[in-house]
Amino acid sequence: MTVSSTTAKNTYLGNGGFIFSYTFRILAQDQIKVEIKDVNDVITTQVISTDYSVSGVDAQSGGNITFVVAPDVTDTIIFTRNVPLLQQTDYVENDTFPAESHERALDKLTMIDQQIDEETDRTIKVDSAIVGFDTVLPTPEADKFLKYNSAADAIESIALVAGGGIAAVVEDPSPQLGGPLDCNGFNIEFDNGDGITDDSQNEHLLFNKTASAVNHIEVTNAAAAGNPIIASAGDDTNVDLVLATKGTGEVALTGASLKVDDAEGVVDTNGNEHLIFQETASAVNHIEMTNAATANSPIIESIGDDTDVGLDIKCKGTGVARAVAGTGNYEDNISADDDFITKIYYESQAATQAELEAASSTTTFASPGNIKHDPGNVKTRCSCGIAGDINGSNNVSSVTDTGTGQATINFTTSFSDNSYTTSVTLHDSGTLIGTMTTANTGSLLVSSRTTGGTLTDPSVGYNVLIAGDF
pLDDT in tens, 114-164: 888 888 888 888 887 888 888 888 989 888 888 889 998 999 988 865 544
pLDDT computed for residue 275 by the predictor: 92
Say which residues have a Cβ less than 8 Å from residue 60's Cβ, sequence separation at least 6: 1, 2, 4, 5, 25
Which of the 8 DSSP states describes residue 459? S
pLDDT computed for residue 336 by the predictor: 42
Among 431, 419, 425, 430, residue whose Cα is nearest residue 446: 425
For residue 358, pLDDT over 80 is answered with: no
What's the order of all strands across the beta sheet hosting 433-439?
396-403, 406-411, 443-449, 433-439
Report the share of the chain in percent with pLDDT over 90. 46
* Of the candidate ranges 40-49, 56-65, 114-123, the one whose mean pLDDT is the lowest: 114-123
pLDDT computed for residue 180 by the predictor: 85
Q: At 173, is the pLDDT very low, low, confident or very high (cuts 50, 70, 90)?
A: low
Average pLDDT, rounded, for the chain: 85
∠ at Cα 217 (215, 220), nearest 5°?
140
Which amino acid is it at 131? V
For residue 456, pLDDT over 50 is answered with: yes
pLDDT computed for residue 123 by the predictor: 84
Among 175, 150, 176, 147, residue whose Cα is nearest residue 159: 147
Report yes or no: 32 and 82 within 8 Å, Cβ to Cβ: yes
- Rounded to the nearest angstrom, the gap between the alpha carbon of residue 158 and the centroid of all alpha carbons in its chain is 54
pLDDT computed for residue 398 by the predictor: 94
Q: First-to-last CA distance in the chain?
A: 126
Question: What secondary structure does DSSP assign to 285-352, as a single string?
Answer: EEEEEE---TT---EEEEEESSSS-------STT--------SS-------TT----S----GGGBPP
Q: What is the mean pLDDT of residues 247-263?
A: 86
Q: Which residue has the higher pLDDT, 356 or 433?
A: 433
pLDDT computed for residue 163 by the predictor: 47
For residue 328, pLDDT over 60 is answered with: no
For residue 236, pLDDT over 90 is answered with: yes
pLDDT computed for residue 451 by the predictor: 87
pLDDT computed for residue 329 by the predictor: 47
Q: At 45, is the pLDDT very low, low, confident or very high (cuts 50, 70, 90)?
A: very high
Q: Which residue has the higher pLDDT, 215 or 91?
A: 215
Q: At 19, is the pLDDT very low, low, confident or very high (cuts 50, 70, 90)?
A: very high
pLDDT computed for residue 326 by the predictor: 56
Q: What is the mean pLDDT of residues 383-397?
A: 91
Give the 3-state secondary structure of residue 455.
strand
**Half-sphere exposure of residue 2: CA atoms within 13 angstroms, side-chain side:** 3
∠ at Cα 244 (242, 247), nearest 5°?
160
Q: How many CB atoms lie within 10 A of CB 150?
A: 8
d(CA 13, CA 16): 9
Q: Which residue has the higher pLDDT, 315 or 60?
A: 60
For residue 53, pLDDT over 90 is answered with: yes
